[in-house]
Amino acid sequence: MNRYIKPDKWNIIEEGFSAENVPSSESIFSIGNGRMGQRANFEEQYSGNTLQGNYIAGVYYPDKTKVGWWKNGYPEYFAKVLNAANWIGINVQVNGEELDLAKIKVADFQRVLNMHEGYLSRSFQATMNNGNEIRVDTRRFLSIVDDNIGAIRYTLIADNFTGTITLTPYLDADVVNEDSNYDEKFWEAISQESAGNNALVLARTKKTGFVVATGMVFELWKNGKLLSVNPINTVKEKYAACEVTIDIAEGDELVIYKFATNVSSFNHPEKELAAVAKSELAKAQNKHFNQLLHEQKDAWAAKWEESDITIDGDVAAQQAIRFNIFQLNQTYTGEDERLNIGPKGFTGEKYGGSTYWDTEAYCLPFYLATADKHVARNLLLYRYKQLGKAIENATKLGFNHGSALFPMVTMNGEECHNEWEITFEEIHRNGAIAFAVYNYVNYTGDEDYLKDFGLELLIGISRFWSQRITWSDRLNKFVMLGVTGPNEYENNVDNNWYTNKLACWCLDYTREVIDRVKTANPNKYLALSAKIGFNENEETKRWNEITQNMHFPESKELGVFLQQDNYLNKEQILVKDLDPKHRPINQKWSWDRILRSCFIKQADTLQGIYLFEDKFDIDTIERNFDFYESRTLHESSLSPCVHSILAAKLNKMEKAYELYLRTSRLDLDDYNCEVGEGLHITSMAGTWMSVVHGFGGFRVFNGKIHLNPRTPKDWDSFSFKIRFRGSVLKINAFKERVEVQNFSDIQVPLIIFGKEYLIDSNDKILINN
């Protein structure tokens, strides 16, 4: 853990320069707009430890798989979002000496991420080795209004000297990915140009052939007046720069405005990229910094109006939830169905920036409740449009007849994860994607999605389960062998309870959807059956046999579902009895020792309890929670939120709050000492779930909202907004009462503390606890 972020309701604040914290801060203070993202690297040169990072949505490289022992079915590559051209660079020389915070004295350093208005600022005083003192103040943002544009205002004030300052704004596409498997550079030069105050670099990715045009234009102002300058223009392969030297006197202020753009062949024809880039730069320069920033503030105000959560009485909790929401909103906007949400978003390279099952299990609920319906729908369409690849993936593993196995990791629908126990065995991901269909339709009432897209996907997944599940003569039950559940501290186990439960639910749900589509639109159903060769009687007969005769491991003595067969054969040591010096065990223990232990990385059985909680009585939920929470290390970012939600349901509020803080401040306080690799973006959606689903008790059953708010003792109150089927509700939860306000023109039925209410349009109700 590394706590250096100052508490504040709306800002992330770092005070004092620490070279050790630079990589962590580069992640924490990242900015983005859904189209691209930028780590909080310094504009000026920095020779210390740093991970330079600028990432463009949709642009990736298939890095050749690196394994010691090849197995049939292995993916040939691991897809990676690429570190693209550095557009923020502004080299600074003061009387011939380079401004480099790793080599000079730094005072009054402050960095602030203004989450309310959507910009990053930084200020410091530097004492150069030549004795010159200079103050620097910077502000930059990626526009969420004009999402191809980034803007920088970089201000320098000469405190004690007269002489020259040389500024070199530049573009550099000669970049590397720190996670390259073979130390390969992934970009090839196309062209580079620099003329006057402008520069443009075009580069192409190897293999995938994406082309990105990165352009810049700059202005230089001295003491409030625009300067007419004659830069020295420099170009070399993948690099273009403009160098300007300015005479400066003590007290003078020099401001450089740098406007930049990144446009890619993902969105534009390659031959038009240069023209599009120049047009974007002209627009940015015409609006200029202040107007762009004003529009940014207004756009972020609208986002916060939709998705803010307020917490009164606990600044650390308030700062944390807003940080999580801010990062989610600047990572994914939902306007492009080709895009998804990588575990690190645009903040680092780990996990390749690819899509995991995190999206369906954790992110979808956030976007369902805080954004227009099409945003969540586009997340589902992303998977539907990769259904053909999912069928190919299953075929490679020996399945047939249209079986679909969605990938654990992907950019384009192909599996690109290269650890066998994950690629071949962590198949619960299929169930998460099926459950997302249910979750979306249950929430929105969008039955059209089922007939147009959802049913076809569900049948493909159900066909996979039907073939993956086999009959055991010994047990006289159906079984699922050789799997890995969400708890990745277990591999190649038989009958993971969660996976079995999810598979059977999926088979039943698919049969239900068949009946719904067949009744509502028989012609559509017949056309789909013909398209995919679906024999309803034969196939659903086996599905029914499976669900009626599936083996679910359990301990009747303990009254709990067992994570998998033989789980109780392990030595049962509780987390509280594990010496802290052994944690995290994934860094301290051998994999052999981990696999033999009873310790759990993240919610597994409890993941199933959470998804299907309406199927279990409260005593069953509590027995399972107590059993598994005591054995769970939460060494996955995705774990604490599920446990927090269940703890709140069980009124174990101290535990729920403890786990909420862990998930919400995971990156801000760097619990796992790894935030320098990037933020845990997808688990941030779990933080939102901890508040809304956990403390808010928000659920949707049978088309109706259910609320059971509970306020942690450290909070005076909390509030959140939800969109639901055309309505917008704000829930204010206090210790003694709950207030629900309807901001829409329709009546909304809902159930609060088990009692049904009807809120009139633009009205509110007050209920005492």
Would you please indicate which residues are annotated as catalytic (active-site) residues?
Answer: 488
The single residue listed with the structure tokens 């709990």 is 560
HEC string of 204-229 equals EECCCCCEEEEEEEEEEEECCEECCC
Q: Is 369 left (phi over 0), alpha (psi -120 to 50) or beta?
A: alpha
Give the closest residue to 378 by CA, choosing from 388, 368, 369: 368
Q: What is the side-by-side order of every strand in the sheet holding 31-32?
A: 31-32, 36-38, 54-64, 77-83
Going by the DSSP 8-state scheme, the letter that residue 56 receives in this structure is E
Instruction: Let me know: does 740 contact 731? Beta carbons within 8 Å.
Output: yes
Alpha-carbon torsion angle 349, 351, 352, 357, nearest 10: -140
What is the rounded CA–CA span in Å between residue 135 and residue 364? 45
DSSP-derived 3-state class of residue 599: coil
Separation between Cα atoms, residue 404 and residue 401, nearest integer Å:
9
Bridge partners, 705 (sequence order): 700, 750
* CB-CB contact of 749 with 701 (8 Å): no
- Helix locations, 20-166, DSSP H: 22-28
DSSP three-state, residue 71? coil
As beta bridge partners, residue 172 has: 86, 239
- Pair 218, 258: CB distance under 8 Å: yes
How many residues does this entry show for the chain? 769
- E strand or H helix that includes residue 471: strand 470-472
Tell me whether strands 239-248 and 163-172 are parallel, antiparallel or unpaired. Answer: antiparallel
Listed in order, strand segments (DSSP E) in 132-291 are 133-142, 149-158, 163-172, 187-195, 198-205, 211-222, 225-226, 232-236, 239-248, 253-264
What does residue 187 show for φ and ψ, rounded to 5 degrees? -115, 140
ω into 584 cis (within 30 of 0): yes
User: Count H helices, E strands: the chain?
Assistant: 21, 32
> Phi-psi region for residue 376, left (φ > 0), alpha (ψ -120 to 50) or beta?
alpha
Q: How far from the centroid of its chain's Cα atoms is residue 236's Cα?
A: 36
If you ran DSSP here, which 8-state letter would residue 714 be given?
Answer: T
- For 42, list phi and psi in degrees, rounded to 5: -75, 145
Q: What is the 3-state secondary structure (H, E, C) of 642-667?
A: HHHHHHHHCCCHHHHHHHHHHHHCCC
8 A C-beta contact, residue 450 and residue 437: yes
Report how far residue 371's alpha carbon sits from residue 373's, in angstroms, rounded to the nearest whole number.
Answer: 6
Contacts 24+ apart (CB under 8 A), 512-517: 513/450, 513/454, 513/455, 513/458, 514/455, 514/459, 514/540, 516/447, 516/450, 517/450, 517/451, 517/455
Q: How many Cβ atoms sit within 10 Å of the Cβ of residue 649?
A: 22
- Ranges of beta strands (E only) in 505-590 are 554-555, 560-561
Alpha-carbon gap, residue 477 to 467, rounded angstroms: 15
Amino acid type, 303: K
Contact 110, 122 (CB under 8 A): yes
List all residues 6 or more positions away from 673 whose beta carbon is below 8 Å from its beta carbon.
1, 2
Residues 6+ apart with CB under 8 A from 656: 644, 645, 647, 648, 690, 694, 695, 712
**Per-residue tokens: 306:** 């939709």
